[in-house]
Amino acid sequence: MPVAIKINPKDNVVVALHPIAKGTAVPVDGASVTAVEDIPQGHKMAIAPIHAGENVIKYGFPIGHATADAVPGTWMHTHNVKTNLSGEIEYSYHPNVHPLAPVAPETFMGYRRKDGRWEGRYIAMRLPDGRAKYKSVYGKTHDIVKKKQLAAIQALAKEPAAACDLTVKELFAQYLAQADVKPSTRERYRFMIERHILPRLGQTPVSKLTAKGLSDFLRHLKNHGRLDGKGGLSPKTVRDVAVLIKSLLRFAQAEYHCVCDALNARLPVYTQKKIEVLSDTELAVLGKALLPSKKISLAVMLALHAGLRVGEVCALRVCDIDYLAGTIQVCRSVQRITLNGKSQLLVQRPKSDSSERIVPLHPELLLLLKKATAKLPSDAYIMAGQIGQPMDPRTCQYQFTVLLKRCGIHHRGFHALRHTFATRCIENGADIKSISEMLGHADIKTTLKLYVHPSLESKRRCIQQINFLKIGA
């Protein structure tokens, strides 16, 4: 079984079909390329030298450019590949869609038979292992067969069922193999697929999925989706499942020209739960309970005064702190996932490209960090758990819950500290662009929509600053 696939002859990367260990010789085009580092499943590996600024070619087209020189066998991902798009682009989408006329193949796939007739071949469908299944058309002349070949391709576009007989289970296997996502995201996808999707839809041909059928399935998950039979799944989980299924259908459309009616199904309505920030009174009580000697105190301060996520807090190393510049570099995150049936901590790159950032630190926080890390080696985790390991984010959340209970403050998730940071920055006059970058958001709209929660006190101050109109004066 191949360990990697080269999708297009022009590609300078291959996609790992399975995790590739460092030192593994990967067969490519009759030769082999040795992996110089571990390559996660579904991720790209360079098969030729790629210089900084040079395009990374996948599907036969540039998908971005290298940010550093890469030798054959290098893992190519967000840490060394950037999109070719740049700047901030605001646009208004006003589609003007016109049906496209089918285009004849640039090359004629066929030949002249011994009996004098011409035979033309075309791809009718792809098998679960990715191999093409062909059909043939016949005629007296080259031109006649070429027209028949084009007509057959046109018919496939009108009758997608003939082009995509793969089941949902079969297509998901292909989708996961090519998905260029982090290991934690891949495992989250795999969990949703195996637990929620395949039991009811696994053997259904993709082309047979309908908008009504998908809507009925999602409604069932909402009402009866729990495996223990105790009710339905949360609105967020149902929506995540719906988004994943639609991603699969778009993959089927791109790879097999299979236009499925289920793409027209409406996504379930999901209103993101509003996170309650800590009030000034609660912060004062919390501050009195924090002890410099406790790791949870440092974690709280990093989230509350630097806006870090809990996984980013747990993954911080001493070397990430620049005491001269007064900054901290956020370049990794830790998450507990189930991989191959085993629960484990996974240290990986942050949530997105924009999440990799440098955040200035308050002088008091910098002093706390300096005292806490004085005796630690540069590569040590600041929030260390077991020997040499980062603290489990779940442990951090648990200790925060205990701290709130001890302070008499009603329960919040650790993430509420990050939201409190954003809200306090706004209330103190910070510009939204700076806040967005410190939080690691790609779009300031995310910051404004989800992370800014004006307090009642803040709203009251706004009202009091308005010049009051005196009646009859």
What average pLDDT score do residues 170-197 get? 85
What average pLDDT score do residues 130-138 get? 76
Return all residues near 295 (Cβ < 8 A) that are at least 6 apart.
Answer: 383, 384, 391, 399
Give Cα separations from 206 to 218, 404, 429 (angstroms).
Answer: 16, 49, 52
> Mutual orientation of helices 295-306 and 393-407 as an angle, nearest 10°?
90
466 has pLDDT over 90: no
Position with higher pLDDT, 128 vs 344: 344
Position with higher pLDDT, 285 vs 350: 285
Phi, psi of 4 (to 5 degrees): -150, 160
What average pLDDT score do residues 38-42 get? 85
What's the confidence (pLDDT) of residue 95? Answer: 43
**Listed ranges 82-86, 122-126, 378-382; the one with the highest mean pLDDT:** 378-382
Helix or strand holding residue 288 (H, E): helix 280-289
- The Cα–Cα gap between 331 and 320 comes to 8
What's the confidence (pLDDT) of residue 445? Answer: 83
89 has pLDDT over 50: no
Domains in the chain, ordered, with CATH?
4-82 (2.30.130.110), 113-158 (no CATH), 168-264 (1.10.150), 280-459 (1.10.443.10)
386 has pLDDT over 90: no
Q: Which residues pair with 28 in a beta bridge?
A: 31
What's the confidence (pLDDT) of residue 324? Answer: 92
What's the confidence (pLDDT) of residue 472? Answer: 63
Q: Which residues pair with 125 in a beta bridge?
A: 133
- Write the pLDDT tens digit of every residue in 74-87: 999 888 888 765 44
What's the confidence (pLDDT) of residue 93? Answer: 38
- The Cα–Cα gap between 361 and 378 comes to 19
- Write the pLDDT tens digit of every residue in 397-434: 999 999 999 999 999 899 999 999 988 888 888 888 88
Using pLDDT thresholds of 50, 70 and 90, give the confidence band for residue 161: very low
What average pLDDT score do residues 169-182 get? 84
Asked if residues 215 and 238 have their Cβ atoms less than 8 Å apart, the reply is no
Q: What is the layout of strands, in order, in the sheet containing 55-58?
A: 55-58, 61-66, 81-82
Mind giving me the DSSP string for 136-156?
Answer: EEEESSHHHHHHHHHHHHHHH
- Write the pLDDT tens digit of every residue in 4-22: 888 888 899 998 888 888 8
Catalytic residue numbers, as ranges: 309, 342, 415, 418, 441, 451
Provide the b/e sequence for 245-278 (b: ≥16 CB within 10 Å).
bbebbebbbebbebbbbbeebeebeeeeeebebb
Mind giving me the DSSP string for 76-87?
Answer: ESTTTEE-S--S
Phi, psi of 407 (to 5 degrees): -85, -5
pTM of the complete model beyond 0.85: no
- The Cα–Cα gap between 322 and 333 comes to 18
**Which runs of consecutive H residues, i.e. helices, occur in 79-210?**
142-158, 160-163, 168-178, 183-192, 198-201
- The Cα–Cα gap between 380 and 289 comes to 27
Position with higher pLDDT, 129 vs 389: 389
- The Cα–Cα gap between 361 and 216 comes to 51
Give Cα separations from 188 to 191, 338, 346 (angstroms).
Answer: 5, 9, 13
